[in-house]
Amino acid sequence: MKIAIASDHAGFAYKESIKKYLSARGHEVVDFGTDSDAAVDYPAFIGPAAQAVARGDCERGIVLGGSGNGEAMTANKVAGIRCALCWSEQTAKWAREHNDSNVLAIGQRTIAEATALHLVDIWLATPFEGGRHLKRIQQIEAFH
């Protein structure tokens, strides 16, 4: 799978770890930055990653920050993006099953790195259930 990834300074360490983790599992990772833990404004990196997913250049995206909130908000400004901020197995699973999330947001300051990697696995492996959820996804998309 081709996956866009981006972070601000507060998510940089996990971004680097997740990139290696995904590459080792055969995924193609496109890094939209940042390239260090020096302070930056996250929209400059998150926006282009979300746009790559929306255009279909990447199948999914992962965005990281300190809390993940601003990154999720930024990604969700892009038409066609359904970014979910996840912090547990259940939130990652439901983000895919119920919401057909195409971008995952993680807060580096909120969960352990091992948990973040585990959530990435769950989120990538979980299929969208469709059914009653499809109508809701269509209603979300109608707002753009």
Number of domains in the chain: 1
Q: Is the pLDDT of residue 144 over 80?
A: no
Active site residue ranges: 71, 98
DSSP one-letter string for the chain: -EEEEEE-GGGHHHHHHHHHHHHHTT-EEEE----SSS---THHHHHHHHHHHHHTSSSEEEEEESSSHHHHHHHHTSTT--EEE--SHHHHHHHHHTT--SEEEEETTTS-HHHHHHHHHHHHHPPP--THHHHHHHHHHTT-
pLDDT reported for residue 127: 98
Q: Is the pLDDT of residue 133 over 80?
A: yes
Each residue's pLDDT tens digit, 99-120 = 999 999 999 999 999 999 999 9
Mean of all residue pLDDT scores within the chain: 97
pLDDT reported for residue 8: 98
Task: Please give the average per-residue pLDDT across 4-31, as a whole number.
Answer: 98
Alpha-carbon gap, residue 122 to 10, rounded angstroms:
23
Question: Which range of residues forms the domain containing residue 134?
Answer: 2-141
Task: Please give the average per-residue pLDDT across 72-82, as a whole number.
Answer: 97
| Confidence band of 38 (pLDDT split at 50, 70, 90) | very high
- CATH for 90: 3.40.1400.10
